[in-house]
Amino acid sequence: MSVPLIAVAHGSRDPRAAATVRELLESVRLARPGLPVRPAYLDHAAPTLPQALAGLASAVVLPLLLTEAYHSRVDIPGVLREIRGPRIRYGATLGPHPLLTRALERRLAEAGVPVEDPEAVRRTAVVLVSAGSSDRRANQVVARLARRWACERGWWAVTAAYASASAPKPGEEVARLLRAGAPRVVVAPYLLAPGYFADRVREDALGAGARTVSGVLGAAPELAEIVLERYDQALAAHWLSMPA
């Protein structure tokens, strides 16, 4: 019997977010039949992490988060310290990971951006938008991802923006790139699920002149692959001893 996977998302009052998590986890189940997979949420949705762990002798707890920041470093470990019973292995966040740029390009292509046309890519600036964090290290991870993506694929530019907690905002960065002479600007949300942030990013970016805003990462096949890779990595590690 496989060790169950408990995938912990932030949670949202928007029902589209939980539906997206369910779709992603169903892709994980299909990719690895027989693996018990349960969702859990930090806020706004059920089940909570203690509820998802109830009755289990062991589990891999995996944060469905795209950057390592407060939730993965503090919130989830804090909850796990209070839980008695199951043996737990705690996995890494989904990002950073090389497959994420493939997922981002998948969503851009679905939005009509010709990502396989080298000339079109050279004439396109991309704004990579994350939720943003008060943790400067998390924002720097997104900025590094943007620089690496620009170098690897030859976009006119790839720059980072943040929906909250940091600057620049998506609309500000779209406007700056257009003033700098970018022939066209598109926006790639570095977000797992639809909801308040995704809606605000779309409105702000289109209002500033972005050509298009792609969909959130959601249940892209690359995300399911990353989830299973993180699960396997955690399973190979020691059973968790939470820091004080």
- DSSP, collapsed to helix, strand or coil, labels residue 89 as strand
Tokens representing 8? 């912990």
pLDDT at 239: 63
| Strands 87-90 and 184-190, bridge-based pairing | unpaired
Is 37 within 8 Å of 7 (Cβ atoms)?
yes
pTM reported for the whole predicted model? 0.94
HSE-CB at 23 with a 13 A cutoff on CA atoms is 15
Residues 229 and 244: their CA atoms lie apart, in Å, by: 28
Per residue in 174-220, pLDDT (tens digit) is 999 999 999 999 999 999 999 999 999 999 999 999 999 999 999 99
pLDDT at 237: 84
Percent of the chain with pLDDT over 90: 87
Element spanning 223, H or E: helix 221-235
